[in-house]
Every structure is written in C-alpha cells, then in structure tokens.
C-alpha cells in the first residue's frame, strides 16, 4: 500500500507522507488505524488526493491484518523478499520475447526461482514469534 500510494507523491514530501502512513499500518487496532487514516486524509488529501484515495479504496483489504498480533503483522507488511523475487521473475520473462509452450515458461520460472533461492540467506524479521503464533492458530497445517 505504501509503495502504491507513494508514487503519487514527489520526492520532497515523501518522507513526511510515509511517516504518516506508518501510523496507519502500525496502529494497534482497527479503530486507531481508521483514526490515523482520517488524520492522513486531512493532512495530505488536498495536496495528494490519489495517495489518500488508494488507501481509502483498498481499506477493506487492509483491515484483516489487524486481527493478527504485532509479529505476524510485521511479517506481513515486510515484503521485500517477495518483491525481490517478483522483480527477478519479471526480469527473466522480459528478456525472452515469446515462449513456445506453457511448460517452457514453467521451466524458466523454476530455474529463476532456484537461482534466486541461493540468495535467500537472511531470515525474516520476527519469524520465530510469527511461526509460534501460526502453529497455534493453524494447528496441524504446519510441518513440525
């Protein structure tokens, strides 16, 4: 959400706008997040209406994250590894113009993921706490 909204904000105001957006997704409850969203809309709505609109239009998609405790939410909104993988897959697919079959696409993506996985050495922040919560809430669905 932050990256989507920030593209409508020029460089000179990005730091201040992001600081206000953090108050939204780091809020402890849905009610606090809604208050932060209202404050964000008041502060930046006139100057950057599209940045505010992206949050307001997708608010129903943001709300479910507040049902999780803080370690889980942090793991959810810290998506750099996912974005890095998506970027590398797009790069691999862009280099090749067309594929003769669906299997050829799968093979190229499989090899790209294998190559990328060699770079995954850093653990996800707060993952042990998140994994502990997942194993309690989703009992039987995680390998032991």
Residues 6+ apart with CB under 8 A from 144: 135
> Where are the chain's structural domains?
2-67, 79-123
> Hey, what are 122's tokens?
């850093």
**Predicted pLDDT of residue 30:** 92
**Predicted pLDDT of residue 50:** 94
**Predicted pLDDT of residue 78:** 64
Q: Please give the average pLDDT of every successive group of 10 residues along the chain, which has 144 residues.
A: 88 93 90 94 93 92 85 71 82 86 92 86 75 82 74
What pTM does this model have?
Answer: 0.64
What is the chain's Cα-based Rg?
19
**Predicted pLDDT of residue 60:** 92
> How many CA atoms, within 13 angstroms, populate the side-chain half-sphere of residue 34?
6
DSSP state of 1: -
**Predicted pLDDT of residue 80:** 67
**Predicted pLDDT of residue 74:** 76
**Predicted pLDDT of residue 3:** 84
Alpha-carbon gap, residue 104 to 93, rounded angstroms? 11
Residue closest to 66 by CA, chosen among 99, 41, 33, 113: 33
76, 64 in Cβ contact below 8 A? no
20, 5 in Cβ contact below 8 A? no
């Amino acid at each position: 959400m932050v990256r989507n909204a920030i593209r409508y904000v020029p460089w000179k105001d990005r730091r201040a706008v992001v600081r206000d957006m953090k108050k939204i997704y780091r809020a402890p409850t849905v009610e606090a997040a809604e208050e932060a969203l209202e404050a964000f809309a008041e502060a930046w709505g006139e100057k950057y209406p599209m940045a505010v609109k992206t949050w307001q239009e997708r608010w129903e998609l943001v709300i479910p994250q507040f049902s999780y405790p803080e370690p889980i939410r942090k793991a959810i909104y810290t998506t750099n590894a996912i974005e890095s993988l998506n970027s590398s897959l797009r790069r691999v697919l862009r280099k090749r113009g067309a594929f003769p079959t669906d299997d050829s696409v799968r093979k190229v993506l499989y090899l790209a993921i294998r190559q990328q996985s060699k770079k995954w050495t850093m653990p996800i922040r707060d993952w042990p706490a998140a994994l502990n919560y997942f194993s309690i809430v989703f009992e039987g669905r995680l390998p032991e």
